[in-house]
Amino acid sequence: MKALIFAAGLGTRLKPLTDTMPKALVPVGGKPLLDRVITKLIAAGYDDIVINVHHFAGMIRDYVASRDNFGVKVSFSDETDLLRETGGGIRHAEPFLDGPDPFLVHNVDILSNLDLAWFRRQHREGDLATILVSDRETARYFLFDDDGLLVGWTNILTGEVRSPWPGIDPDKCTRLAFSGIHCISPAIFPLMRPMPEKFPIVDFYLSICRTHRIRAAVMPGLELHDVGKLSELDCTVPE
């Protein structure tokens, strides 16, 4: 099974640590974030792992080599020429991810107790993507209809609402926060080809959700930490 780990980011919220190392190698509980995510993926049966790299890319390559590729196939989607954002990063990794089966995308700075086997089972045939979401407090939310399908996005601080359905009422939708973990059909790649070189995956999902099914997955008892900021580095790592 294939998985893409987003590890290319600059890690600006983790400065000054990321002045000398990539976010992926920042330690939490004595282990680099990348180590924790890869170990979790392998335990769930993922044996073909792609890591996108940009900031201190050589350090990430060297670390993976020092761990003998964790005993699985590891490839690198090189973005040292241009940081392509989340949507562009997925499209750039197409040569490694394309195939008959859905692939997982996982942010390197997300630690959780997510049951990855359960999450993969939530992806239904014919859906373009399944996104892990939760009912937690944040400023920005995806909006879903009664069938759990994506219909829009809102920022509750600014009141901004984005949707391909004009006049959508956020109060009549289910409002859930994105986790940075998705299961995606390879059918996404032809749809991405008209997009610019760099683009966010959220914008892309919103542009196609009227014609393609993007489904919410909510795991009961989910514990999730976004370790992209200094205040979260001493978090208790979910098992």
The CATH number of the domain where 64 resides is what?
A: 3.90.550.10
Q: What is the pTM of this model?
A: 0.95
Task: Tell me, yes or no, whether 94 lies in a domain.
Answer: yes
Structural domain of residue 105, as residue ranges? 2-226
Query: What's the confidence (pLDDT) of residue 239?
Result: 65
165 pLDDT higher than 70:
yes
Amino acid at 160: E
Number of domains in the chain: 1
- How far apart, in Å, are the Cα atoms of 152 and each of 117, 138, 165, 166, 207? 27, 16, 8, 10, 9
* Model pLDDT for residues 25-75, shown as the tens digit of each residue: 999 988 999 999 999 999 999 999 999 999 999 999 999 999 999 999 999
Task: Answer positive or negative: Cα dihedral of 126, 117, 70, 225.
Answer: positive
Task: Tell me, yes or no, whether 234 lies in a domain.
Answer: no
pLDDT tier at 14 (50, 70, 90 boundaries)?
confident
Task: Tell me, yes or no, whether 238 lies in a domain.
Answer: no
Task: Tell me, yes or no, whether 237 lies in a domain.
Answer: no
Task: Tell me, yes or no, whether 232 lies in a domain.
Answer: no
80 pLDDT higher than 90:
yes
Task: Tell me, yes or no, whether 128 lies in a domain.
Answer: yes
pLDDT tier at 233 (50, 70, 90 boundaries)?
confident
Task: Tell me, yes or no, whether 233 lies in a domain.
Answer: no
* Model pLDDT for residues 112-147, shown as the tens digit of each residue: 999 999 999 999 999 999 999 999 989 999 999 999
Phi, psi of 25 (to 5 degrees): -105, 5
5 pLDDT higher than 90:
yes
Task: Tell me, yes or no, whether 16 lies in a domain.
Answer: yes
